[in-house]
Chains A and B, each alone.
Chain A
Amino acid sequence: MRAADEQDYLDFATARAGALYRSASLLTSGDAYLAEDLVQETLGRMYAHWRRVSAADNPAAYAHTVLVRVFLSHRRRRSSAEQPSGALPEGVAAEGDATLRLMLLDALARLGPRDRAVLVLRYWEDRSVEETARTLRTSAGAVRTQSSRALGRLRAVLGDSLPDLARS
């Protein structure tokens, strides 16, 4: 890669790595090592095709799409014995409500990877149903069904324990 392209890439990667890591951590329900691997692989894919990626309309959104697909393909490759634990990874920021975080990550860990991906795309990345469907290469109807089913499962696990944090 030419020096100027590489600098562009480094600026992009540095600006996006944190957000990609947060999404990856939610997708892996708190497996910090796997989240790092997924982000590195995603950034590696961006690097390998940087000149074309950088010409895309929205390289950042594209990176998040790649991340989700890397995650799903990774889950397919791994054995079922390696389910993420949902345990609080060491070293993450100690700020915030640790109990809520643990509870939520634990509940997410009980879902299948695709269910988690749907919820992360819809509720963390604020993607529309249509965008989520495109990312997961499925239909909008399937996304709606999967989304409501996954929410139902979470509700069965979490009950009323999520705080009502309505902010005005």
Chain B
Amino acid sequence: MSFEDRFAQSLRDTGEDLTPNDLTRLVNGGVTDGRRRRRRRNAAVAGGSAALALVAVGAAVAPSMLGASRTAHTVANPAAGPSMSLTAAARPVSDAARARQMVSTLEGLLPKGGRITDAVGRWSLKVPGGDAAFVAPLASVVYDDGKGASSIEVGLDRYPKGEAPVPTCGSPADVPNDVCHVYRLPGGARLLIDQGYEYPSRGSGTKDWHAVLDLPDGTHVEMDEWNAPAEKGAGVTRATPPLSADQLRAVVTSKAWQPLLAAVPTPKPRK
């Protein structure tokens, strides 16, 4: 038997002995991770079929600038943050401009006095090898209030009416969190505040505090803040993320997001 054959056999024997401690926890962790990805419409699929996947989505999204005619939502307890213009764009705005608005809106809503770096804005994702794009607004910054840098992201989403995932706190057995509540707001909106972990199945390590504002028309404002300057692979810089639950709520319920939400096109309903 050659070394190669002996190695292959030993590798098989070793691999077959490596079994997960808890298969259910792995699967639940995968679902939780996937839901978070879906929320953010993060299309960074590390796979060859990413292009295929994006083509399918891109084709379904017609570029549509809604805007002025969309009714504003009544949101309870609007942010104590700065007041922003609610005037919707009357003419098409470029994706790059919208991406900048995503960042400037988030920056304007964060507590004053902090240092903001690594600001990245996105309005749409390009389909590799094509010219179609699908809208997946995201603002991402690293915010440091002087007590440790932390990553903060806000994403916007629009679901076909009635198809938006209802924000729910997972079962504490599967998704440990320190605090999780869903609030009903006047006007039918729902607000989830989940003070949990980056790897929920573990219930320790990097914290990921998450807020979802679910509006009756199917739009979502979703926010995550970590107690680390990067989502994964960076050390914890502080005990908890910088914004309190109230501050999270203030950011996601701010009316400053409304012109941007109004510009997110409605996806086709699922068949």
Q: Which residues of A contact B (CB under 8 A)?
A: 1-2, 9-10, 13-14, 17-18, 21-23, 25-26, 30, 32-33, 35-37, 39-50, 52-53, 56, 62, 65-66, 69-70, 73-74, 77-78, 91-93, 95-97, 100-101, 104-105, 119-120, 123-124, 134, 151, 154-155, 158, 162-167
Interface residues on B, range: 35 or more
Selected contact of B27 from candidates A17, A53, A69, A119, CB within 8 Å: A17
Residues in A neighbouring B9, C-beta threshold 8 A: 162, 165, 167
Main secondary structure of the interface of B (DSSP, over half): helix
Given A47-B30, A47-B31, A36:B10 Cβ within 8 A: no
Residues in A neighbouring B21, C-beta threshold 8 A: 32, 91-92
Q: Which residues B6-27 have CB closer than 8 A to chain A?
A: 6-21, 23, 25-27
Judge whether B45 and A18 touch: CB under 8 Å. no
20 A-B contacts (beta carbon < 8 Å)? A13-B31, A17-B23, A22-B16, A33-B202, A39-B29, A41-B232, A43-B27, A44-B32, A45-B34, A45-B46, A47-B35, A56-B52, A66-B47, A77-B230, A93-B17, A97-B13, A123-B8, A154-B3, A158-B7, A166-B5
Does B33 belong to the interface (CB within 8 Å)?
yes
Residues in B neighbouring A92, C-beta threshold 8 A: 17-19, 21
Judge whether A162 and B6 touch: CB under 8 Å. yes
Judge whether B10 and A104 touch: CB under 8 Å. yes
Q: Which of B36-44, B77-85, B99-107, B188-196 contacts A (4 or more CB under 8 A)?
A: B36-44
Judge whether A101 and B27 touch: CB under 8 Å. no
With contacts A17-B27, A100-B13 known, what are 14 further pairs, Cβ within 8 A? A9-B31, A40-B29, A44-B29, A44-B33, A44-B37, A47-B34, A47-B35, A48-B34, A93-B18, A104-B14, A119-B11, A120-B11, A151-B3, A165-B10
